[in-house]
Amino acid sequence: MKTKHIFILFVLLALVQLCIPAQMIFNRESILKQGIAYKFKTEPVDPSDPFKGKYIYLNYDLRNVEVGDKDWHRKQDVYISIANDSLGFAKAVTASLEKPESGDFVLAKADWYSESTSELRFSFPFNEFYMEESKAYDAEVAHRDAQRDSLPNNTYALVYIKDGEAVLENVFINDIPIATFVENE
């Protein structure tokens, strides 16, 4: 009888351990399929973390938004409303401490607030792009070189946004996925 209860408990525990990652994967796939795609201009760095592996750390050109007088605090959660600019790149429309009722938005972290310019600097949660380890360094070099190119807006991250959640799908150089770009060089 005791063995039967232990077996049932084991099966339930195993199911929970499978369901949680499956739900996380399902949520990300849902955002990729049903979310709105935005292009974010990038500025890369290529760190290496022994626990995370090789990835490209992305700084975004979009990191400030003009706000009214508010009591903003460092590391505070802020909702950044997003829209496309005339060139098709993401721009910050507003920042709020409360979840917007309409439009696309991302939950970000406040970095600092400048009283003189009434600007809030923030950080997006999708700033790490993981790649095959053998390609990460070459990708970083290619991305950095593309940033120096005379062509404007030639490097960007494609991010899907749905209900305040964001998924970084890929990083592009001259409209070519970065892994493909590195392979062709």
Please answer whether residues 56 and 143 qualify as being in contact, where contact means their C-beta atoms are separated by less than 8 angstroms. yes
- Spell out the residues 6+ positions from residue 78 whose beta carbon is closer than 8 angstroms to its own: 72, 95, 96, 97, 107, 108, 109, 110, 120, 122
- Position 150 scores a pLDDT of 59
Query: Which amino acid, 143?
Result: H
* Closest among 121, 116, 124 to 166, alpha carbons compared: 124
12: number of Cβ within 10 Å: 10
Handedness of CA 138, 52, 58, 31 (dihedral sign): positive
- Position 179 scores a pLDDT of 84
| Distance between CA atoms of residues 44 and 158, nearest Å | 14
- Position 89 scores a pLDDT of 92
- Spell out the residues 6+ positions from residue 89 whose beta carbon is closer than 8 angstroms to its own: 38, 39, 40, 41, 62, 153, 156
| Distance between CA atoms of residues 117 and 89, nearest Å | 23
Q: How do 104-114 and 90-96 pair as beta strands? A: unpaired
DSSP 100: -
DSSP 63: -
- Weakly modelled stretches of the chain, pLDDT under 70: 1, 43-54, 149-153, 185
With H, G, I as helix, E, B as strand and everything else as coil, classify residue 93: strand
Please answer whether residues 79 and 178 qualify as being in contact, where contact means their C-beta atoms are separated by less than 8 angstroms. no
With H, G, I as helix, E, B as strand and everything else as coil, classify residue 27: helix
- Spell out the residues 6+ positions from residue 147 whose beta carbon is closer than 8 angstroms to its own: 43, 44, 155
